[in-house]
């Protein structure tokens, strides 16, 4: 083989995995959609307070505009104002957010069978 071709092949073998790892790290930790871009775009009059994904192409966004709070539903080609509020909604407590684990589900099934 020609020396130039061999050198180009070695460069590709070394640089291609490096580029893939850097791309993965950038997407995973550097430029996430909701957290980093929303914080970066926070302005003086408007900011995104929270976003919740409801599926691959849809979600809910709580936005503050001045002293008003707006809840938007968005999907691939549509954004809908769901509700406009004067006060932000109450935070959900940690106990209400807790999803039962597998052991708790199995224990619940066992207690139902015993009855």
Any idea which residue has 């707006």 for tokens? 70
- The per-residue pLDDT for 69 is 94
- The per-residue pLDDT for 24 is 87
Contact 63, 50 (CB under 8 A): no
Cβ burial of 38 (10 Å; 0-12, 13-18, 19+) is middle
Print pLDDT tens along the chain (115 aa). 688 999 999 999 999 999 999 988 888 877 655 454 545 455 678 888 889 888 888 999 999 998 899 999 999 889 999 999 999 888 877 655 566 677 777 777 778 777 6
User: Hey, which residues does 65 pair with through a beta bridge?
Assistant: 46, 68
Q: Quick one: how many helices (H) and strands (E) in the chain?
A: 4, 4
């Amino acid at each position: 083989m020609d020396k130039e071709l061999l050198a180009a092949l070695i460069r590709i073998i070394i640089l291609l995995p490096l580029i893939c790892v850097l791309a993965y790290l950038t997407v995973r930790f550097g430029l996430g959609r909701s957290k980093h871009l929303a914080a970066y775009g926070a302005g003086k009059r408007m900011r995104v307070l929270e976003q919740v994904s409801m599926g691959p192409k849809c979600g809910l966004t709580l936005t503050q505009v001045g002293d008003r709070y707006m809840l938007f539903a968005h999907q691939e080609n549509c954004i809908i104002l769901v509700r406009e509020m004067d006060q932000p909604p109450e935070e959900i407590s940690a106990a209400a957010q807790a999803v039962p684990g597998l052991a708790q589900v199995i224990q619940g099934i066992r207690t139902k069978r015993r009855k």
